[in-house]
Amino acid sequence: MKHKIEVMISEQTIKERVAQLGKEISAHYQDSENLVMVGLLRGSFVFMADLARVIEVGHSVDFLTASSYGNNMESSRDVHILKDLDDNIEGKDVLLVEDIIDTGNTLSKVLQILNLRAPNSIQICTLLDKPTRREQHVDVKWVGFVIPDEFVVGVGIDYAQQYRHLPYIGKVVPIEEDPTPPSAD
């Protein structure tokens, strides 16, 4: 599909919001001695790195890969764990870090799996939330930005594995192909 990217949330706005989230999360976990940030790959890698650097409470980091979209714009609803955590989370305070919550299928499956491992607590922080698309309810403690139902990219989020490097959130806008063939004269 031919498309262009339009800026939806600027780099500066994201930076300021991440700093606020860092303060709120640090206050929440100020007494925790076993905080682990768990990033869902691949999308969360940029937000995870930004957030980890503004959380003032000591913590470890771990990553899990669960994929449902593949290279498509539609969720397959068939969420697979492709790479599990490296460490045990029993008794730990888990902060699950997501780039975007859309249908909620990915996180609800991941939560089901992680809750079976007896963590002390699990909370979710997502950079973006598209609540109008929700199919599965998930309790989200911290949301960077609530966005409308648009397909977005940037800050780790992809379209067909592209655009993850963009420092802003952009919206994917289809470009109409011209149906008229070029004239012969």
Query: Which positions lie near ligand HPA, rule CB under 6 A?
Result: 69, 100, 102, 151-153, 157-158
Smallest separation (angstroms) from ligand HPA to the CB of 165:
14
Smallest separation (angstroms) from ligand HPA to the CB of 69:
5
Residue 151, C-beta contacts closer than 8 angstroms, at least 6 positions apart: 73, 159, 171, 172
CB-closest chain residue to ligand PRP: 43
CB 157 within 8 A of CB 43: yes
* Annotated catalytic residue 149: no
8-state DSSP, 120: S
What's the token pair of residue 33?
A: 């001695």
User: What are the distances in angstroms from CA 147 to CA 70, 101, 183?
Assistant: 22, 10, 43
Smallest separation (angstroms) from ligand PRP to the CB of 62:
15
The values of phi and psi at residue 11, to 5°, are -60, -45
Active-site residue (options: 50, 93, 99, 102): 102
Write the binding mask 95 to 114 for ligand PRP: x where contact by CB under 6 A, - elsewhere: ---xxxxxxxxx--------
Residues in contact with ligand PRP by the rule CB under 6 A: 40, 42-43, 67-69, 75, 98-106, 158
